[in-house]
Structure 1
């Protein structure tokens, strides 16, 4: 892994902030949806960090296909690191900064496992409710 890429996701235009592992700023640019995939495909092996949102899992899977390590961070952990007003550029910088803290983000695999545990827990709760409902009948 050579660098850390923070991406602020949006509908059409994405803000991309790139730093080296030593923390040196390499780039901070705006890319359209069409150019983002091609740009990420050209990057060396990197850790890509995004705020968790509706489209983050889709993008995480897309970027993972190029051999990058992808993490998602909850927006509540990014907000304290934002300097200045809330805009795409500051958000991308804050995402990279939040990633430098231990335990900040989760990989797609970790989220998949959490999802399975939640589904199983819900099924167990429903099963118990059905069993209890059946016990009350005469």
Structure 2
């Protein structure tokens, strides 16, 4: 069965991946390091990915798009509402899959490196 939606919880060292089929049930779970995750993206047929929007997620979203995948970045507060238990990587992936089903949650646009640099500059200036 081909997966239709893949949720990825990014971290510094380990990436939690949950693949869901057309019924919405999780069909496969993976725990990959950075190198394995890069290989996974390159070898995977084009698919839809969903991530929580953060600085690192924009980097991985750009890499996913370069490999031909479609990416949705969801705002963190909306994903948190779908988490059922303690905050773990696995629970975050399941929450992302649930939140992705809600059409009222608008995705965050993927930022370029230049846009992220300007945003960081604005945040530094506003902190003074």
TM-score by structure 2 length?
A: 0.79
Residues 70 and 107, structure 1, Cα contact 8 Å, conserved in 2: no
Task: State how far apart, in whole Å, the 2-side matches of 1:94 and 1:16 are.
Answer: 12
Q: Which runs of 5+ in 2 are unaligned?
A: 123-128
Alignment partner of 1:79 is 2:49: no
Larger Rg: 1
Between 1:92-101 and 1:40-49, the stretch displaced more is 40-49
Q: Deviations over 1:27-70 (max 9, x none)?
A: 11211011101112222221111001111111000000111101
Name the SS of the counterpart of 1:23 in structure 2.
coil
Deviation at 1:3, TM superposition (A): 1.3
Q: Which residue of structure 1 aligns with residue 19 of structure 2?
A: 18
Q: Which residue of structure 2 aligns with residue 36 of structure 1?
A: 37
Q: Which residue of structure 2 aligns with residue 129 of structure 1?
A: none
Q: 2:108 is matched with which residue: 106, 109, 131?
A: 106
Give the number of equivalent residue pairs: 114
Residues 3 and 19, structure 2, Cα contact 8 Å, conserved in 1: no
Alignment partner of 1:4 is 2:5: yes
Name the SS of the counterpart of 2:45 in structure 1.
coil
Task: State how far apart, in whole Å, the 2-side matches of 1:11 and 1:53 are.
Answer: 13
Q: Relative to 1, partners in 2 of residues 1:21 and 1:45: Cα closer, same or farther, differing over 3 Å?
A: farther
TM-score by structure 1 length?
A: 0.74
Q: Which runs of 5+ in 1 are unaligned?
A: 123-138
Q: Which residue of structure 2 aligns with residue 57 of structure 1?
A: 58
Higher helix share: 1
